[in-house]
Amino acid sequence: MPLRRVGGGVATGASGLGGRAMRYYRLWIYTCNTALLAGALAFCGAAARTVLFDFRRSLVPSLTLYQPSFLYAYLALATQGGALQLLGCVAALRLSEKLLNAYWLLLLVLLFGDVVLGAFWAFKFERICQELKPALRVRFQQEYGTNGEMTAMWDRLQVEDSCCGVSGPGEFNISLRWEIPVSCCVDPPANSTRCAKTHLSGCDERLLAYLRATASILAILGYCVLAFLKLCFLGILRYEIREMIQKIRILRTELELTNANGAVPGAIRAESAESERESLLVRPESAALLSSPPTQTKNPNGNNNYEMREYRSHENI
């Protein structure tokens, strides 16, 4: 009797076996995705609070949002905040060797980019700090009082950070264009535009402290969290993905052998047992046994009963 193929048996068995065998490796990929997503969101929140939406960043001349290093940072954060997770999940669910290798390589590229960007900003940041005071003085002399937006931001800085001018209130005394603004006053006068007492600290020190605090926060989140997570998961996933690919190849080989046989092993065993039962039913000796009438069973105590009847008859005589 020919073997019949059970519909959908191969696909169902393969998916169940693959799901059980790959659960451990998928868990590593999902953990990596979750950790990197949390780190990227934390970095984005800190960067938005300290750089994007902080007015003090606009007062630093060389800190624009459209420079190439910032553009790469936007792309890297978008990649590891969504695209990387999508690639990893699709690769784990589809059990694709190419997608798994692409996932690991993308993680490596992001780590390499973090190292290059960090080294670049380590040198550039020191240069920005050294050139901050001269650049602020030039911009202050050119735009304060003439550029309304810059004047408003500088006055806000003087009020919130308790500072005055670039290096002190002397910036206003040496110029005949301005008087000391009310924003420099320790106690703003109610009915006068002149200050009884002004802040003595320059705003360049406040901006420098802001830059160093921002750099420390972003360096901790970028290197001590994100880059460290990438480095750890790169080492772990290198071996896990390699083993995962080996098991994928083993499962694929088993499926190819199963498809070549035409049925899954369980179905083959069931069909073999059924064919054996049917072959027994059609054998001649089996048919003769089934067609013969049942024979009466003999009483094993028949002779003994006959002798007992003879003995009792002699006693009666």
SS3 174: coil
b/e string for 257-282 if b means 16 or more Cβ within 10 A? ebeeeebbeebbeebeeeeeeeeeee
Long-range CB contact pairs, 36-39, < 8 A, 24+: 36/80, 36/84, 36/85, 36/226, 36/229, 36/230, 36/233, 37/80, 37/81, 37/82, 37/85, 39/221, 39/225, 39/226, 39/229
Q: What is the pLDDT of residues 11-38, one digit of tens each?
A: 444 444 455 667 888 888 899 899 999 9
Q: Give me the pLDDT at residue 18, please.
A: 54
Q: What is the pLDDT along the chain (317 residues), one digit of tens a residue?
A: 333 333 344 344 444 445 566 788 888 889 989 999 999 999 999 999 998 899 999 888 888 888 888 899 999 999 988 899 999 999 888 888 899 899 999 999 999 999 999 899 888 898 988 889 888 888 888 888 888 888 899 989 988 998 888 888 877 766 545 677 888 888 776 665 677 788 888 898 999 999 999 999 999 998 889 999 999 999 888 888 888 888 888 877 877 777 666 554 444 444 544 554 444 444 444 445 444 554 554 444 444 454 455 545 555 54
**Comparing C-alpha atoms, which of 287, 280, 279 is closest to residue 1?**
279
- Domain segments of the chain: what residues? 23-189+196-261
Average pLDDT score over the chain: 77
pLDDT digits (tens, 9 = 90+) for 264-283: 444 444 454 455 444 444 44
